[in-house]
Amino acid sequence: MFIPAFTILAFFSGVSLCKLYEDIADLPALQYDFVIVGGGTGGNVVARRLTEDASVSVLVLEAGPSNAGVLDAQVPFLSDGVSNNGTAYSWRYILGGCSSHSKYGMAYTRGAAADFDRYAKLTEDEGWSWNQIFPYFLKNERWTAPADHHDTRGQFNSSVHGKNGPISVSLSGFSWSEFEQHVMQATEELPDDFPFNLDMNSGKPLGVGWLQYTIGDGERSSSATGYLTPDVLQRPNLDVLLHAQVSKLVNLTKSRVSPSEPFAFQGVEFKYATNAGSSLYVAKASKEIILSAGPIGTPQILLNSGIGDRTALTALGISTVLDLPSVGKNASEHPYLGMSWAVSSNQTGDSITQNTTQFNEAFAEWNSSHTGPFVDPWPGTHAGWLRLDPDSPLFDMHTDPSPGPDAPHFEILFQPFGFAGTPGHFISLALGMVSPVSRGSVTLSSSDPFAPPLIDLGLLSSDFDALALTEGINLALKFLTAPTWNGYLGAPTVDLTSMSSAELTAHIRAISGPGYHVVGTAGMSARGAQHGVVDPDLKVKGIAGLRVIDASVLPIVPAAHTQAATYAVAERGCRYGETELEVVEHPTNERTSDNFAR
């Protein structure tokens, strides 16, 4: 192994030296204790936490470019949701992963306590229960004043928030006051169905409350900005290589590791690409490989490596290392749909998206002082977390898919803007079914490891979810019957009330799209379980020295936007120092010189 050149350089120069490598020729080594695949939401947490121990060396391989200087990944309003038609599934590569993604909504929601208590039950590990995960939410979070420094009393509960973590979380920093007042007034007028909830992140989300965002000082706070800060990137034991897309794991292990885990890899093959072309390289992990490539990338890499359903792998001509049928299965995702109404007010986001002058003024304000409407992203001002009627006939069709009576079936996002792109002023309600029965899959299309995988989210493949959404629509319409909306609310862009129930279900199927909250494709399960991909310590079952630390391990989607849960998974999953990770002993690798030749 090379001595990292940085340690010497840093001694001589006082300037900040970033060990975020654009060019592989600058990377000092291709052998590390840990190789993390994917510098995304989960991966950057692991990178930072592992390198807190100075004796451990870590390489992060990230397929995408840097987030630095990408304005769309910095300005919350440009997260583009206002023009998002909800049907395009984009999963772009960038440092910070989906936490940097330009279309990412930044809503900060943890889910219900019962979601985590169910994970504890499924994994037979109390460590995943709400009470034991709670400290990791706090460890991730730095509660921050909103950009407009408004009085936030009565809008959140300070005792459920972290104060010193890497990720800034704040309430909205720009007020759409007229709309907000109607939402708050409606919770007072219809308190039985829509009670006000001071803080939806307390573990008991039911009700309607103010949304919180991963935003600080009017800027997106991502795993790249929050965890890979300049001081972390300067650690001599951390290297991050960009433009490095991992294809598969390769076997650099010489001997059997242990009878219970007879397989190990220790090698990661990746393509480093520039405009001039691309070449394949192998990086070596002497202790562990950690897959943090996200719920699409992680199962794809496992399958490319021969870990998955033997029948499916064989059909593609990939030889099976370990028959693990759950890889890529049980993809769990929320279906969402949007509904819009014209309003009599011009105080809506449409005034900005439809008027270039106002758009430019708002951008200039953000640019000069990080204030104004651009400090907030698209999801809206409030969210409601609601349940199906306990007497719903749907429960005759299927047992309740939610984890308990304090967990929601629906999310309604309250949004002071339209979806349609139609001229005028609108408000919208985005409705999600957050305890779906449907499951999907990520499978390979080819034995070419760089071929795009097949993503079938299975949205609404269960009738339960589609029928539940009709009940969710009725709840949303009920909210708008509160007297406060009289005189403000105009006609809907689509008249749902005149549809027959068959028409409504067909409409739901036509307009629903993913919430971008996929999990479960490398799900954790109890050690003895016949299904599942990783054990409760996130180690891939039957393989030594291989762990998954990203959203894929959550076996069922929580009733929440999934970044907070992903951060908590990563904060818990990398407890290096608390629980010693297994060290894979291996003899000197004979193939080193070939594999590591540049």
Ligand X SMILES: Cc1cc2nc3c(=O)[nH]c(=O)nc-3n(C[C@H](O)[C@H](O)[C@H](O)COP(=O)(O)OP(=O)(O)OC[C@H]3O[C@@H](n4cnc5c(N)ncnc54)[C@H](O)[C@@H]3O)c2cc1C
Catalytic positions, please?
517, 561
3-state secondary structure 245-307: EEEEEEECCCCCCCCCCCEECEEEEEEEEECCEEEEEEEEEEEEEEECCHHHHHHHHHHHCCE
Q: Which does 297 bind (CB under 5 to 8 A by kind): ligand NAG, ligand X, none?
A: ligand X
The least distance separating ligand NAG from the CB of residue 199, rounded to whole angstroms, comes to 7
**Is the CB of residue 20 less than 8 Å from the CB of residue 44?**
no
Q: Which is nearer to ligand X, 99 or 266 (CB)?
A: 99
Binding of ligand X at residue 246 (CB under 6 A)? yes
Q: Residue 136, interface with ligand X (CB under 6 A)?
A: no
For residue 255, the partner it binds in ligand X, ligand NAG, none, with Cβ less than 5 to 8 A by kind, is ligand NAG
How many angstroms separate the CA atoms of 94 and 88, rounded? 18
233: left (phi over 0), alpha (psi -120 to 50) or beta: alpha
Beta pairing partners, 410 = 386, 433
Residue 246 labelled as part of a binding site: yes
Least CB distance to ligand NAG at residue 370 (A): 11
Are the beta carbons of 246 and 40 closer than 8 angstroms?
Answer: no
CB-based contacts of 199: which residues, under 8 Å, 6+ apart? 156, 157, 160, 209
- On whether the CB atoms of residues 294 and 40 are closer than 8 A, the answer is yes
Closer to ligand X by Cβ: residue 63 or 200: 63
Using the 8-state DSSP alphabet, how is residue 540 labeled?
B
**Dihedral of alpha carbons 28, 29, 35, 39, sign:** positive
CA distance 353 to 350: 5
- Alpha-carbon span 148 to 495, nearest angstrom: 37
Min dist. Cβ of residue 130 to ligand X (A): 17
- The residues of the shown chain that bind ligand NAG, judged by CB under 6 A, are 85, 87-88, 157, 159-160, 198, 202, 251, 253-256, 262-265, 321, 325-326, 329-330, 346, 351, 355, 357-358, 363-364, 367, 531, 555
Pair of tokens at residue 332: 């769990």
Q: Among the candidate windows 86-94, 398-406, 435-443, 582-590, which touches ligand X by CB under 6 A?
A: 86-94
- Read off φ and ψ for residue 568, nearest 5 degrees: -65, -40
Nearer to ligand NAG, 227 or 419 (CB): 419
Among ligand NAG, ligand X, none, the one that 402 touches (CB under a kind-dependent 5 to 8 A) is none
Q: Which residue is nearest to ligand X (CB)?
A: 40
Residues in 497-516 that interact with ligand X by CB under 6 A: 516
Q: What is the 3-state secondary structure (H, E, C) of 321-376?
A: CEECCCCCCCEECCEEEEEEEEECCCCCCHHHHCCHHHHHHHHHHHHHHCCCHHHC
Kindly state the tokens that stand for 290. Answer: 């950690």
- 48, 370, 561, 586: which one binds ligand X (CB under 6 A): 561
Q: Does 99 bind ligand X (CB under 6 A)?
A: yes
Return the structure tokens found at 365: 């304000």
Which C-beta is closer to ligand NAG: that of 189 or that of 361?
A: 361
Query: What crossing angle do the helices spanning 563-573 and 41-50 adopt, rounded to 10°?
Result: 30
Contact of residue 41 among ligand X, ligand NAG, none (CB under 5-8 Å per partner type): ligand X
- Stretches 20-28, 99-107, 252-260, 346-354: which one binds ligand X (CB under 6 A)? 99-107
Among positions 174-233, residues that touch ligand X (CB under 6 A) are: none
Residue 440, SS3 per DSSP: strand
Look at residue 39 and give the partner it binds from ligand NAG, ligand X, none, a contact being a CB closer than 5 to 8 Å depending on partner kind: ligand X
Select the binding partner of residue 583 from ligand X, ligand NAG, none (C-beta < 5 to 8 A, by kind). Answer: none
CB of 506 to ligand X, least distance (A): 26
Which one of ligand NAG, ligand X, none is in contact with 198 (Cβ closer than 5 to 8 A by kind)? Answer: ligand NAG
Instruction: Report if residue 39 touches ligand X, rule: CB under 6 A.
Output: yes
Contacts 24+ apart (CB under 8 A), 344-348: 344/425, 344/487, 344/488, 344/489, 344/490, 345/178, 345/179, 345/425, 345/488, 346/425, 347/176, 347/177, 347/178, 347/179, 347/416, 347/425, 348/176, 348/179, 348/416, 348/417, 348/418, 348/425, 348/426, 348/427
Among the candidate windows 119-127, 190-198, 289-297, 312-320, which touches ligand X by CB under 6 A?
289-297
Rule CB under 6 A: say whether 412 interacts with ligand X: no
Closest distance to ligand X from the beta carbon of 582 (Å):
22
Question: Where in 101-130 is the site for ligand X (CB under 6 A)?
Answer: 101, 103-107
Q: Tell me if 425 sits within 8 A of 350, measured CB to CB.
A: yes
* d(C-alpha 406, C-alpha 403), whole Å: 8
Question: Does residue 37 bind ligand X (CB under 6 A)?
Answer: yes
Cβ at position 347, least distance to ligand NAG in Å: 7
Pattern 46-85, ligand X, x by CB under 6 A? ---------------xxxx---------------------
**Strand segments (E) across 62-127:** none
Which is closer to ligand NAG, CB of 368 or CB of 498?
A: 368
Residue 561 interacting entry, from ligand X, ligand NAG, none, C-beta within 5 to 8 Å by type: ligand X
- The angle at the Cα of 431, spanning 430 to 436, to the nearest 5 degrees, equals 145
Of residues 123 and 292, the one with the C-beta less far from ligand X: 292
Measured CA to CA, the distance from residue 351 to residue 417 in angstroms comes to 9
- Are the CB atoms for 212 and 137 separated by under 8 Å? no
Site for ligand X in 513-532 (CB under 6 A): 516-517
Q: Give the footprint of ligand X on this chain (CB under 6 A).
A: 37-43, 61-64, 91, 93-94, 97-99, 101, 103-107, 245-246, 292-295, 297, 301, 379, 516-517, 550-551, 561-564, 566
Annotated binding site for FAD: 246
The binding site comprises: 246
